Chains A and B, each alone.
Chain A
Amino acid sequence: MTYVLGCLFLIVGIYFLLRDTWPSYVYGMIALGNGVNLIIFSIGVVKEDAFPFINKFSEFVDPLTQALVLTAIVISFATLCFVVAVIKKLNQLGGDT
């Protein structure tokens, strides 16, 4: 399920990136980044009542993918913020598209 959702996000992201306007770059980057994160997240098995660490009470799931996703979210979010700042600067300088 999360796989399919991730792939849908990727398709939406590519659609927005191919539209050649500055705001749509931002939408495209948001969708692409989250799509990839969802796919990686779903690679580690997601179960109800299972924690990503070893414990006595329940079975546990692979913690590494969740750690990977955390790092990836930080990086893609930082890049996104920076692109928004660059686009704002471009708008101030005055320009079309």
Chain B
Amino acid sequence: MGEYFFLLIFIPLFASALSLYFRGNKAVENGITLIFSFSYILFAGYLLLTSQYNHELVAGDWPSGIGIKLKSDLMALLMITVVGFMYFAGALYGLSKKTIENHRNYLFLYHSLFLGLTGAFLTNDLFNLFVWFEITLMSSYVLVVLGEEKERLIGGLKYIILNFCSGLIFLLSIGLIYQATKTLDFSTLSERLNYLYQENPAYVRALAFSLFSAFAIKSAFFPLFFWLPESYPRLSPGLSGVLAGLLTKLGLYAMLRVFGQVFPHDMTFFTVVLILSALTLLIGVWGAVIQGHIRKILSYHIISQVGFIGVAVSFSFYPDKKISMLAQGAALFYIIHHIIVKTNLFFISGLIQIKKGSEELKDLSGLFRRYPFLALLFLIPAGSLIGIPPLSGFWAKLSLFKISIETRYLWVCLFMILGSFFTLFSMVKIWSNSFWGEVEDHSPLESVHISSYLAIILLCLLTICISLNPNWLYILSNKVGL
């Protein structure tokens, strides 16, 4: 069964074709979406649990290194399984009309977004990584501007142009890498780059920096994050949850794969990326502290969490082999934890927006009295994002602290403690302003379809599963570097 892993790409492809054919017919479209996304989880989970990974497929029977190669290794399958849960949860959350864009092409684009993501995880070739990235981004471009409001279009335009530029930088560095090594296949590239590194380290370093700047725009690193809070808070709740959970993490995954496993590990490059990530995690959370709009606060939290993951990713190309392997596992654990938690937080704040018609903290008060269940659901991902002990965020941060203490980078620990403190501070701000307090207006609240609650409960259960048994995921993700 393991050699049929490429069917994972075909599931969202067929789903998008079918939903284009049946567009306008809501019942059929929703049925297709639920069935296909659920079979996606089942298939990916089956491959992961029966450990049928490390299969390869070279298109057209070309010799390896020439043909287009797909490979299902452990890292790809883990990511795909988690993305599959988001696929299903997003579909479930979007069953009611209020939670997503009311546009007939929405589900078609939703499926093609996941088509691009699946391909990007499975590919084993730098240029194909670029192409799958562009498929993902192309669907997200259209999704971001599906709306008539002027503000949203301007935010979307910024998003498109910045990502277009990052795509061009990506392409340019692919060209330069091809010129230097005459190959783009990951395994051959790794050998030739290591060889080149012994002769001319500065050249390889320059290639790494140019590729890094492309990924840094996509994953909202410190000087280049301004597109993110401009575009995400204006989208519909269902859409913003999926995009916020997945797109920046795709950039981080690409960094982990390319710099951790393909490029030679270089001390200068490591130091620069580490400093940038530390700055990202602090500056992002300062942005969150001054905002007064729930999803804007959460958008700035994405940036600071990207900084945390960036610390783990930068340790994955630390010159020492043992540390680098530990850090790859830690980064993967953090990415998985973060995707689930962040999507969930966006979904919950979307429900608040639908119920109260506003997300400004000054308009909200006393939600706890009226909706204790929603408050409880909010508490799980929020606590996990901060890193309160039994929850999954704590385990993710713990391994980061362990690595940075082991390598004597104590200032990174200081940055991470400050970052966590401000995250706590801004979460408490949301909590005390919107959930606590007296019930001020007693106007009846909009009711929400039960499926949206089901999606949130599913994601909460996933977080709790990781929290109660982190060892399973930890051991699995530590096998990645081997």
Contacts and interface: CB of A to CB of B under 8 A. Distances in A.
Contact of B161 (A17, A36, A39, A40): A17
A7 B8 CA distance: 40
Nearest to A28: B161
B150 interface: yes
Contacts of B141: 79, 82
Contacts of A83: 157, 160-161, 164
B178 A29 contact: no
A82 B145 CA distance: 10
A71 B128 CA distance: 10
Contacts of B156: 86
Given A36-B168, A36-B171, A40-B172, A75 B134 contact: yes
Given A39-B175, A43-B179, A95-B150, A68 B127 contact: yes
B154 A33 contact: no
Contacts of B131: 71, 75
Contacts of A8: none
Contacts of B165: 17, 32
B138 A79 contact: yes
Given A83-B157, A90-B150, A90-B157, A29 B175 contact: no
A29 B150 contact: no
A40 B148 contact: no
Interface residues of A, number: 27
Contacts of A68: 127, 174-175, 178
Interface string B394-412: 0000000000000000000
B142 interface: yes
B contacts with A: majority SS: helix
A65 B131 CA distance: 15
Contacts of A82: 138, 141-142, 160
A61 to B, nearest CB: 13
B138 A65 contact: no
A33 B157 contact: no
A59 to B, nearest CB: 17
A78 B138 contact: yes
B167 interface: yes
Interface in A38-94: 39-40, 43, 64-65, 68, 71-72, 75-76, 78-79, 82-83, 86-87, 89-90, 93
Contacts of B145: 86, 89
Contact of B171 (A22, A29, A64, A72): A72
Contacts of B138: 75, 78-79, 82
Contact of B178 (A17, A33, A65): A65
Given A25-B161, A64-B178, A79-B160, A93 B171 contact: no
Contacts of B142: 82
Interface string B140-151: 011001001010
B171 A86 contact: no
A25 B171 CA distance: 20
Contact of A29 (B134, B154, B164, B174): B164
B153 interface: yes
Contacts of B171: 36, 40, 72
Contacts of B167: 75-76, 79
A79 B164 contact: yes
A93 B178 contact: no
A29 B157 contact: no
Given A29-B161, A75-B131, A75-B167, A90 B178 contact: no
A87 B154 CA distance: 9
Contacts of A39: 172, 175
A5 to B, nearest CB: 15
A65 B175 contact: yes
25 contacts: A17-B161, A17-B165, A25-B161, A32-B165, A36-B172, A40-B175, A64-B184, A68-B127, A68-B174, A68-B178, A71-B127, A72-B171, A76-B167, A79-B141, A82-B141, A83-B157, A83-B160, A86-B153, A86-B156, A86-B157, A90-B150, A90-B153, A90-B157, A93-B150, A95-B150
Interface of A: 17, 22, 25, 29, 32-33, 36, 39-40, 43, 64-65, 68, 71-72, 75-76, 78-79, 82-83, 86-87, 89-90, 93, 95
**Leading 3 A-B pairs by shortest Cβ distance:** A40-B175, A43-B179, A36-B168
